[in-house]
Structure 1
Amino acid sequence: MLATESSLELDEKKRERVVWRTDGGAGSEENIRWLLNRNYQFMMKGNSNRRAHLWAQQVTRWDPCGDVFLAEIPSPIKFNRPVRIFLKKRVKNEQICVSYYISTIKLPSKRHFISYYDNRGAAEIEQFRNDKMGLHLASRRKTLFLAQKSLILLADLAHNLIGHFHQQALVDTRFEPFRQKRIVRDLLQIPGFLSFQNGSLSRIDLLSSHPYSRDLLICLKSYLEAD
């Protein structure tokens, strides 16, 4: 966070307008106090399940929100700035699970707070999991350090190329919902031939019997024309 402050030149006045949204891994009381002292705004999930269940005993009213129940309680912990505390209760594997969220921002309802939290970047889910599954990172390991480093760099390159291909060729097509795993598995493995002339790609032929080949050819044409 200090590195982000330095890179973006976030003085105290600017920090008032910066909102951190983090999952429970960063939701310790120490981190919360640090953000408050630095004058940041935040919407943060707490990291203590024991505390969540203890605070849930204070709740007299749970409001339904989809498949979960939400409540708000006064802060049992004294901070140097006002905060709001929300509890979320859900049933998982026939067990009641409770989590809590601490926030400094102002929104009109509990539903808005949870929606705001759920709309965070979620890179740990969308990017890391897609890379692991789509690029088969878990099944590729090298014993030599330099070889493993090269593999990581190639995976970064593949991630960027697939992201660029999706943005330039698949948006507004039937393949737009595809993510890395399906792009690699269902599109990039269609049998075919590439023809080159004078060092440049001149023709693409795909197996005509494949259900995606006709639509993918249209996407590839659009992609090559865009470049």
Structure 2
Amino acid sequence: MQSTGRGEPERVLRREKNVTGRQLARVSAIRYRETVWSDLFPGNRHTVACFRPAVLAAETALELSADQRRRTVWRLDGGTGTDEQLRWLLGRGYHVIAKGMSNRRAEALARKVRRWDAYKGAWLGEVPPPTDYGRPVRVFVKRRLKNGQFRHSYYVSTLRWPSKRHYLACYDDRGGAEVEQFRSDKDGLSLAARRKRSFLGQKGYILLTDLAHNLLGELYHHALVGTRFETYGLKRIVRDLLAIPGRLVFEQDRLVRVELLSLNQNAKDLAICLERFCSGG
């Protein structure tokens, strides 16, 4: 990592040993195919340092009131599940279901478990909270056998469920949709291929990618839903639909016709979709 003297870290990703790149933090509304917030951080910055800006940005973008925060659950992987982060989130009124960050604490808590219950090839136990989080929480320890040795992890939650299995099922219930969204931007919008030497220049690329992503999400919901293109992901929309040659015909600042290359098999149906989208339908 080098500095330009203006507090601007520069980094070009190369295949070099012990070299850090850049990391992208993103808040997404998966159901709406919308990126709420993105920011770029130096690759050697820990995830913990990226977490609070993401939470505050999500609050601002979604205009979350105190009452709405009390109905919002943050699911945290081990990389962000520090005591300080959990206290901060709970202090803002959120609910959490989080994996603890400390392996040493997990081993210590495992020794306090009095009863282990089987769960998907592992075992679960409950222990008192190891510290004061500022609000009532439940703490669970998971034991699994790996290479002939027991490994432990612990989880903290403010939710109320009838059994330990429900808590772990809730934590494990991540569909990977956010990973798919990153992949679709890399494939459909060439996110991974566009790199700038300047850190701020790379941030500009990220903002343009977010703008394109959200415009395509709006196109999908207003024009493609209910058509044979409804199953198309971002990559197919860009590659198979928006690459069709054509033009928009306006008369007196009013769209009157969409003309696409008739030889393309998708042209006729796409023209109908675009007319509906451009007319605000």
TM-score (norm 2): 0.57
Of 234, 251, 259, the match for 1:204: 259
Distance 2:231 2:191 in 1: 22
2:116 maps to 60
Distance apart, 1:158 and its partner CA: 0.8
1:130 maps to 184
Unaligned runs of 5+ in 1: none
* RMSD (Å), alpha carbons: 4.2
Task: Return the letter of the residue paired with 2:260.
Answer: D
1:44-123 paired onto structure 2 within 5 Å: 44-49=98-103, 51-52=105-106, 58=113, 60-64=116-120, 69=122, 71-75=124-128, 77-79=130-132, 81-87=135-141, 99-117=153-171
Paired residue secondary structure (1:196): strand
Of 213, 223, 227, the match for 1:159: 213
Paired residue secondary structure (1:138): coil
Distance apart, 1:160 and its partner CA: 1.7
Distance apart, 1:75 and its partner CA: 3.3
Paired residue secondary structure (2:96): strand
After superposition, what is the alpha-carbon deviation per residue over 1:101-137, rounded to whole angstroms, capped at 9, x for unaligned? 2101112344543454456797853544433332111
Distance apart, 1:161 and its partner CA: 0.8
The answer to whether the 8 A contact 1:46-1:99 is kept is: yes
Distance 1:17 1:165 in 2: 30
Unaligned runs of 5+ in 2: 1-51
State percent identity of aligned pairs.
46
More helix by share: 1
Distance 2:232 2:122 in 1: 32
- Higher RCO (CA-CA < 8 Å; seq separation 6+): 2
Distance apart, 1:219 and its partner CA: 2.8
Distance 1:184 1:96 in 2: 48
Distance 2:211 2:195 in 1: 17
Task: Return the letter of the residue paired with 1:158.
Answer: A
